[in-house]
Amino acid sequence: MRKILIIEDDELIAELERDYLEINGFETEIAMDGDKGLELALNKEFDLILLDLMLPSKDGFQICREIRNSKKGVYR
């Protein structure tokens, strides 16, 4: 099963995305802030990360850079 990480601080949007994805056979996990999202992204394996840009604690651009720097060669 494909695993998707949703990093989104708006609970209603995150739940809507999760519901749609799970109905279509995806396994999902939600992080409601940048720090938690980055922690999950670096310590677990996901096939896709849906990343909001405006988040508390770390913005989406910073999270994306940190993931890419930490997982060079894994994501292209």
Where in the sequence is the domain holding 45, given as residue range(s)? 3-70
How far apart, in Å, are the Cα atoms of 18 and each of 12, 22, 45, 48, 66?
A: 10, 6, 17, 13, 24
- The verdict on residue 30 lying in a domain is yes
Average pLDDT over residues 3-26: 97
Give the pLDDT confidence of 28-74 residue by residue, as tens digits. Answer: 999 999 999 999 999 999 999 999 999 988 899 999 999 999 877 65
C-alpha–C-alpha distance, residues 14 and 23, integer Å: 14
In a domain, residue 40? The reply is yes
Residue 76 lies in a domain: no
Q: How many domains does the chain have?
A: 1
Record the pTM. 0.89
For the chain, the average pLDDT equals 93
Query: Which CATH number characterizes residue 11's domain?
Result: 3.40.50.2300
Look at residue 34 and tell me if it is in a domain: yes
pLDDT confidence bin for 76, thresholds 50/70/90? low
